Structures are given as structure tokens and as C-alpha cells.
A and B are shown apart, each in its own frame.
Chain A
Amino acid sequence: MTQTVARPGAGAHQAPLPLDVEAIRADFPILSRTVRDGKRLVYLDSGATSQKPRSVLDAERWFYENVNAAPHRGAHQLAEEATGAYEEARSTIARFIGARTDEVVFTRNSTESINLVAYALSNAATAKEPGFRRYAVGQGDEIVVTEMEHHANLVPWQQLCERTGATLRWLGLTDDGRLDLSDLATVVNERTKLVAVTQQSNILGTINPLGDIVARAREVGALILVDGAQSVPHQPVDVTELGADFLVFSGHKMLGPTGVGVLWGRYDVLDALPPFLTGGSMIEVVRMEGSSFMPPPQRFEAGVPMTAQVIGLGAAVEYLQRLGMDNVLAHEEALTAYALDRLAEIPGVTVIGPPDTVARGGAISFTVEGIHPHDVGQVLDDEGIAVRVGHHCAWPVVRRYGVPATTRATFYVHTGYDDVDALADGIRKAQQFFGVVPSEATEEA
């Protein structure tokens, strides 16, 4: 199928991007492979999982080839070196978010980090030690989330409420993809025990005004958990500025390996929480009658940890620091502005989420009139373009906007204008393939 599509906007915004895309692409081995019969891989699915630069892969290989041992056990040289490398990565990652090293807990991913907090809050009600009962959640208490949360920051709270008899409440959304804070003062009230909110929506791209929410939570004495799975990889995040009690994020979405995530918590809060998973490493003294536990972060790291992955995540953080998170943010802002313009040129394409770049990240969800998102994704895939289709683990959001699903493109440090052009051309191709090329006249304003 040949294609002669006018591209009136192409080139209009092509000011140099803040990051050197060609140099960065050379760092990612996977970007040199082809897909679907020799096509260049246009990877626009970093929001699901990011690709890994060579330095991350090398760090993991270095660990297994030179150091491999279980950290925090044993007194042999490898064990010492493994412990050193593991803890050094913890320091690197802590500095990256402006945190104290002993406030960084390693988990499997953001999902596990959130479950850790949710289970700690219900375990608190039955904790033997009075010091662990401070944040107990029970009947009459309320947990607040928002309608734009990823299932990972919704379902664990629904389950916590089911276990404890607490009530789940939520902040709704406006038509343009922002949090509706008009009832913040009533939804977050003196019964609220915890507010869980995403910093950047994985489906809408919205960057939330956390300041207002944090201030209200403080007023009523509620804890605040920020889901940073989509923010920490894409913008500078400093926990001292955030003002929250918890921040969670996943290594695999920020150039790091799968199988490692982070729970950051204010030390005094972590210290007052009972453990979630129990076993080796997290204990102080074990007797047949019962056990006592280590202080944070060890209290929350039961079992031999994912050492190579933690070291890989340390390397990913160093890679991002070399690029500079301000540059990463500016890079994605430029791409987002360009992509929103390019998509707006295509009749029948509707972006679900903020229509401009104000307080907006680079997750762009859209629908194409007359073509189901799955079918859009299939045509894009045929062109070598990897996007996500479906409800993006945020089913209430697609329901809120009255669409069955969306197609989502997400950007990262190796994304260039050429990737966005490929996306726009691919969408037009899907319209031609399915015979739905709306006329400019019917385009929605």
C-alpha cells in the first residue's frame, strides 16, 4: 500500500530536542533490531516497560560474573562485596529522589510497594507490639484514592477496606482529564487515614497538583502515598519537596531491570509499621515462641533480595542522572507538544486527556473514529510501531470517558520526532486500511 499523505504540520515544531536521540539510541541494543519483516522498531510503549541501556545490562552481568553472593549474610569476601554493591545502589537511588538511604525499601515493583503499605496498615490492627498499631485502619476509617489510579493503586485499597471494614472514597475527574478537586475538603476529612494518588496518570498523562492534596491530608492528619511509577522515570522528583509519607516506583519503567521496585517512606512512619512479608533477613531475634524485627528498611525486605536487579537499577539511575532529569522532562515536553499537534491534524483522532502540555506528561491516549483501538494497534504493529492498546490497567478511566479502550503512545529518552511522525503516518494508514477517512469538515472542534 503506497501512501501520499499531506503533512501540513510536519517540521513546524522541529526545534532541536534537549536530548541527543541518535547518541542515546546507540546505548540501547534492542533499538538496533527490526520487527515485522525488517522494519525499524518504533518503541512507543515505555509507559508499560522501558528498554534498557547497555550500562544496565552490563551492571547485572558484572554482578553475576564477579560478585554473586547473598547480601547481608555470610562473612566471605563475595558476601561482603555483594552487600557493599547492594547498599551502594540503595544510596544512589536514595540520592536520586532526595531521600535518606534508610528510607528506601526494595520491593518487586510499584504494585508490591503499595501492597506492602496496604497490608502493613491492616496488620497494624492486630500487631502484638503497641508501637506497630499507630496507623491501624479499621471500621469507620476512610481511604481516599482518585478515579485516575492504575489498578495497582486502587485494588490494594479496595482489598484493605474489605479486610478492615474501612470505607473507600475517591476524587473524580473533569472532562479534560484532570482531577476534580472541588470536593477535596469533604472527601478528605478527619476520618481519612490515607490518601493514595498518582503523580502522573499512566493513561491520561495528567500531572496532578499534589500540593493541594498533600496540604489537605496534613490538615486532617492522613498519610499520603504518591504513586510515582510514571513520574519518577520522567521528571525530577524530590521527596523533601513532595511532602508525602510514601512514594512508590518501579525499576523497569525507568531503564532498570524487571523485578525491582522501590518503596520510599518517611523514616518515622516506616518505623511505626509492622512487616508485610516475613522470614529471613528482616528479623532481629527469633525464638520458637515468637520473633522481633529489624528497623527499616530491613524490616520490609524478607528473604534474599533481587540483588542483581537492584544493582542494575542503580546503573539506570546513574544513566538518567548523566542525562539530567530536567533534560528528560524538557525532552518529553517537546515531544508531547509535537505529538499533540500531529494528532490534532488527523481528522477522527480524539486525545483522551489534557489537550495541551500544561501539567502533562508524555502518555498520549487516543481513539480513532470508526476503528477499535486493538485494530489501530495492529496496523501500527505492522509498521513496526509498538504502542499499548486496551484499558491500560485503569479501567475506571476509560469507563469515565465513555470509550471501550484507547491506543496509547508513551515516550522516553530515545524517542525522537521521527517516532512521532511514524505514529501519525501509521494512524492515517489504519484509517485508509479500514476505509474510515473522515473528511476535514466532520472533524470535531
Chain B
Amino acid sequence: MQLESMYQEIILDHYRNPHGRGLREPFEAEVHHVNPTCGDEVTLRVHLEGDTIADVSYEGMGCSISQASVSAMYDLVIGKSVPQALETGDHFMTLMQAKGDASVAEKLEDELEDAVAFAGVSKYPARIKCALMSWMALKDASARALSVTDPVGGPKA
């Protein structure tokens, strides 16, 4: 029985009660990402205050892994600067490439909080993309948001 290693209780909790779900104003950038192999979709908005991520709002449809991943990401990135959030994204990518190696998950526990529960997903190559979709969308949206906002704060005139 390997299912529990992928579907950790934390993941199922995020799936059933997603954090931060829904599209909100204000936002500087909105992106729409799809996973063409399965049709999962996410629409994601980023609102910056200076270079701090003040809000990430999203709507999406997809499997439990993709939906729980965006919820766990929401908890991790709010209040972080864009570079800090992207660094967390890099850690998550490292976790996804760990092929189930528990020592990788242990090292990343502090950085990834709830999201470390996705370690089991890294054993299933077909599902890694599900977990990564929201992080890709965040990377894309923050880059766009930075390009339309003044670095000292507020939208460009």
C-alpha cells in the first residue's frame, strides 16, 4: 500500500479546504497555466506591495495534488519578497526531483513547511507536473507583476 505516501493527510486537508482560493483584486498580473497532458488548469493573480507578495489569488481545476499544491504554496509565499518566494519555489523543485529520497525532504522541512508533505509525489514522475503547475504559474505571474510595478511600491503610472 503506497497510496498514503503520496496522499499525506496534510495534502488531503489542503485539497478539501484550500487556503486563499478565489480570484481577488487588486492584482498586477494574472496568468493562466495548463498541464496539456491532463487538462489541469490554474488562473493565478499576484498582488505586490513593493517587491513583497501581498496576495496570491487563484481559481483552478485539477487533481488533488495540483489543487493542494497551490493551497500550500499560498501559505508559503504571502509576505515574502519575490526573490524569497522564488527561492522557496526552487526548494520545492528540489523536493520534486528527489525521487522519494527522505533525506532531501528532511533538509527542506523548515523552508517548505506543509509543502514538504509532497515528498511522496516525487516517486511518481507522472504526477510531479501536477504539483509544480502552481509554482510555475507563480514564477510567471511575479515576473510579469514586477515588470509592471515600480520597485519602490505601487503600480507604474
Interface residues of A (CB under 8 A from B): 1, 36-37, 372-375, 378-379, 382, 389-391, 395, 398, 404-405, 433-434
Contact, CB under 8 Å: A374 / B127? yes
Instruction: Say yes or no: A375-B39 contact (C-beta < 8 A), given A36-B2, A37-B2, A382-B1.
Output: no
Verify if B72 is at the interface (C-beta below 8 Å from A).
no
Interface residues of B (CB under 8 A from A): 1-3, 6-7, 12, 37-41, 61-65, 124, 127, 130
Neighbouring A residues of B124 by C-beta, 8 Å: 378
Contact, CB under 8 Å: B1 / A375? no
B69 CB to nearest chain A CB (Å):
13
| Interface-central residue, A1, A37, A382, by most chain B CB under 10 Å | A382
CB closest residue in chain B, given A382? B3
Contact, CB under 8 Å: A374 / B37? no
How long is the Cα–Cα vector from A375 to B127 in the complex, in angstroms?
Answer: 10
16 further A-B contacts with Cβ under 8 Å, apart from A36-B2, A395-B39, A404-B40, are A1-B1, A372-B63, A372-B64, A374-B38, A374-B40, A374-B62, A374-B130, A375-B65, A378-B3, A378-B6, A379-B3, A382-B1, A390-B38, A404-B39, A405-B38, A433-B3
Neighbouring A residues of B61 by C-beta, 8 Å: 404
How long is the Cα–Cα vector from A267 to B93 in the complex, in angstroms?
Answer: 55
Neighbouring B residues of A374 by C-beta, 8 Å: 38, 40, 62-65, 127, 130
Neighbouring B residues of A433 by C-beta, 8 Å: 3, 7
Neighbouring B residues of A395 by C-beta, 8 Å: 39
| Interface-central residue, A36, A37, A372, by most chain B CB under 10 Å | A372
How long is the Cα–Cα vector from A398 to B2 in the complex, in angstroms?
Answer: 30
Neighbouring A residues of B7 by C-beta, 8 Å: 375, 433
CB closest residue in chain A, given B1? A1
Instruction: Say yes or no: A375-B2 contact (C-beta < 8 A), given A395-B39, A404-B40, A433-B7.
Output: no
Neighbouring B residues of A391 by C-beta, 8 Å: 38-39
Neighbouring B residues of A1 by C-beta, 8 Å: 1
Selected from A36, A37, A375, A398, the residue in CB contact (under 8 A) with B64 is A375
Contact, CB under 8 Å: A389 / B38? yes
Neighbouring B residues of A398 by C-beta, 8 Å: 39
Query: Could you list some 22 contacts between A and B, CB below 8 A?
Result: A1-B1, A37-B2, A372-B62, A373-B38, A373-B63, A374-B40, A378-B127, A382-B2, A382-B3, A389-B38, A390-B37, A390-B38, A390-B39, A391-B39, A395-B39, A398-B39, A404-B40, A404-B41, A405-B38, A433-B3, A434-B12, A434-B64
Neighbouring A residues of B65 by C-beta, 8 Å: 374-375
CB closest residue in chain A, given B60? A404
How long is the Cα–Cα vector from A59 to B100 in the complex, in angstroms?
Answer: 40
The 7 closest A-B pairs by CB, nearest first: A374-B63, A372-B63, A390-B38, A391-B39, A404-B61, A382-B3, A405-B39
B43 CB to nearest chain A CB (Å):
14
How long is the Cα–Cα vector from A382 to B63 in the complex, in angstroms?
Answer: 16
How long is the Cα–Cα vector from A69 to B7 in the complex, in angstroms?
Answer: 52
How long is the Cα–Cα vector from A151 to B7 in the complex, in angstroms?
Answer: 32
How long is the Cα–Cα vector from A36 to B6 in the complex, in angstroms?
Answer: 14
Neighbouring A residues of B41 by C-beta, 8 Å: 404
How long is the Cα–Cα vector from A379 to B12 in the complex, in angstroms?
Answer: 14
A389 CB to nearest chain B CB (Å):
7
How long is the Cα–Cα vector from A221 to B61 in the complex, in angstroms?
Answer: 45
How long is the Cα–Cα vector from A395 to B61 in the complex, in angstroms?
Answer: 15
How long is the Cα–Cα vector from A358 to B64 in the complex, in angstroms?
Answer: 35
How long is the Cα–Cα vector from A25 to B36 in the complex, in angstroms?
Answer: 34
Neighbouring B residues of A375 by C-beta, 8 Å: 7, 63-65
A27 CB to nearest chain B CB (Å):
29
How long is the Cα–Cα vector from A373 to B126 in the complex, in angstroms?
Answer: 14
